[in-house]
Amino acid sequence: MKINNQHYHTIWLKSNNESTIQIIDQRSLPHDFIIEDITTVDQMAIAIKDMHLRGAPLIGVAAAFGMYLAALEANSGTFQIDMDRFAEQLKATRPTAVNLAWAVNQQLELIQNKSFTDPKIFLQKAKTIKQDSIDRCKRMGEFGLSLIQDIYNKKQSTINILTHCNAGWLACIDYGTATAPIYAAYDSGIPVHVWVDETRPRNQGARLTAFELQEHGVPHTVITDNAGGHLMQHGEVDLVIVGTDRTTRTGDVCNKIGTYLKALAAQDNNVPFYVGAPTSSIDFSLSDGLREIPIELRNESEVKYIQGKHENTIKEVLLTPEKSPAANYAFDVTPARLVTGLITEFGIIPANESSIKSLILQT
Ligand code: MRU
C-alpha cells in the first residue's frame, strides 16, 4: 500500500542489515509516520504486546520474524531450549489471535522435525509466511469484489460499507482482510463509501482505517461506535465487513470488542454481515467460540485515557474520574448464526462447520 505515493509493507528486513527487522510504529499514526528498528526478541515481544504493531495476520508474521531474531540470539549449545523459551515469550504477548501461536509453531517445527539451527532457515520461513499472508489477502479481495459488484449491479449507486476496528493493510502486510474487497471495488471503479467505526478504546478505526482509506483515496466517514445501528435502521449501510482474530471450525468469529453488537444490529436490519477470514484465522481445535476463545483483557489505562494531537504535540488526557476503575475487554465473539458469510482466500462460504470442512478438503 502507498503512503505519500511510496509503497510500504508493515514489516520488512532492513536493507543491508540482516539482523534488524523494521516495522511501521502504528502508535504514532495517523499523525506521524515512524519506522522502528527491532533487533532482539525482547523488543519484538514488547512491540507486539504494547501494540506498536497489531492485527491478527501482522502479529503472526511479526512473531515469525521474532523467531528469526531468536535463532540469532540462541546459544548453539542450548539451541532447542533457548528457542522454546523465546517461543513461549512471544506466544504470551497476545492471547486471542490464533495467527501468533500458529506462526511460532511453524518455526519450532523446523527444529523439531528437521533439527535446523541456521538462522537463515528461520528468516526464509518468516519471509514465506509474510508472502503467504499477502497472497491470501489479495485473493480475498478478488472474491469480495464479486460480492460488492453484485450489490452494485442491483443498487446502481454508491455502496455503503461499515467496518469495525482496523482489518486493513496495517493489520496485515498488504491489502488487509476486511478492506481487501473495498480496495478492489474502489480500484475497479465501483463507487464505495466506508463508515469507519472509531473503535474505542484504542481507536484503530478512527486512527488507522481512516488513515489507510484516505491514503488510498477511498471515500469514508468516521462514526462513533454506537452510530452503526442507527445508520442501518435508516438504510445507510449496504454491507458490513469486519476482520477476525480467531474463527472456530463451526464459524464463530472473534474480533475487536463491539463487533458482536454490529452483527446483532445487522441481523435486525437485514444488512449482510461478512467476515474477511483467511483460513489461517481458523482454529480447528475449537467448536464453541463463546466458551473456548481466550479474550484478552488489556490495561484499564487504555479506557481511562485518550490520545490525540494538540498544537503539533501528541498528548494523552484523562477521561474518567481518576479513581474510577475501568475494564478493557479487547475482543468479543460473534456467533456463526449472525454471520452471512466468510470471505476466505478460496471463496466465500457460509459460516458453518460443513462448509468450512469442505473448503479445507477442497484445498
Ligand atoms: O487489538 P488489535 O488492534 O490487534 O485488533 C485487531 C482486530 O480486531 C482486527 O479486526 C483483526 O485482527 C482482524 S485483522 C485483519
Q: Say how far apart CA 25 and CA 51 lie, in whole Å.
A: 8
Q: Above 80 in pLDDT, residue 363?
A: no
Residue whose CB lies within 8 A of the most ligand 1 atoms, among 207, 245, 262, 342, for a mutation test: 245
Axis-axis angle for helices 41-49, 56-73 (nearest 10): 160
Which of ligand 1's atoms lies nearest the C-alpha of 56? 12
Which structural domains are found in the chain, ordered by start?
A: 2-132 (1.20.120.420), 136-361 (3.40.50.10470)
| Most confident of the ranges 107-116, 127-136, 307-316 | 127-136
pLDDT tens, 61-102?
Answer: 999 999 999 999 999 999 999 999 999 999 999 999 999 999
Q: Rounded mean pLDDT of the chain? A: 97
| pLDDT for position 39 | 98
| pLDDT for position 346 | 96
Ramachandran angles phi, psi of 40, nearest 5°:
-135, 160
pLDDT tens, 175-201?
Answer: 999 999 999 999 999 999 999 999 999
Task: Find out whether 194 and 183 touch, Cβ atoms under 8 Å.
Answer: no
| pLDDT for position 112 | 86
Axis-axis angle for helices 119-155, 56-73 (nearest 10): 170
Percent with pLDDT over 90 in the chain: 95
Look at 4 and 268; give whichever has higher pLDDT: 268
pLDDT tens, 112-138?
Answer: 888 888 999 999 999 999 999 999 999
Q: Is 82 a catalytic residue?
A: no
Longest Cα–Cα distance in the chain:
66
| pLDDT for position 141 | 98
Task: Find out whether 339 and 352 touch, Cβ atoms under 8 Å.
Answer: no
Q: Where are the alpha helices (DSSP H) in 92-227?
A: 98-114, 119-155, 180-187, 204, 210-216
Residue whose CB lies within 8 A of the most ligand 1 atoms, among 204, 262, 329, 334, for a mutation test: 204
What would the grid cell of residue 85 be? 523459551
Mapped onto helix, strand or coil, the DSSP state of residue 106 is: helix
Q: Above 90 in pLDDT, residue 110?
A: yes
Q: pLDDT band at 4, cuts 50/70/90?
A: confident
Q: Say how far apart CA 288 and CA 274 lie, in whole Å.
A: 19
Task: Supply the residue whose CA is at minimum distance from atom 15 of ligand 1.
Answer: 167
Mapped onto helix, strand or coil, the DSSP state of residue 191 is: coil
| pLDDT for position 143 | 98
Of 245, 252, 283, 332, catalytic: 245
Across residues 250-279, what is the average pLDDT? 98
Q: pLDDT band at 15, cuts 50/70/90?
A: very high
Across residues 281-299, what is the average pLDDT? 97
pLDDT tens, 195-245?
Answer: 999 999 999 999 999 999 999 999 999 999 999 999 999 999 999 999 999
| pLDDT for position 339 | 98
Which of ligand 1's atoms lies nearest the C-alpha of 296? 1
pTM: 0.96
| pLDDT for position 94 | 97
Ligand 1 binding pocket (C-beta < 6 A) is 54-57, 97, 165, 167, 171-172, 176-177, 204, 243-245, 255-256, 330
Percent with pLDDT over 70 in the chain: 100
Q: pLDDT band at 1, cuts 50/70/90?
A: confident
| pLDDT for position 288 | 98
Residue whose CB lies within 8 A of the most ligand 1 atoms, among 24, 54, 58, 296, for a mutation test: 54
Across residues 162-166, what is the average pLDDT? 98
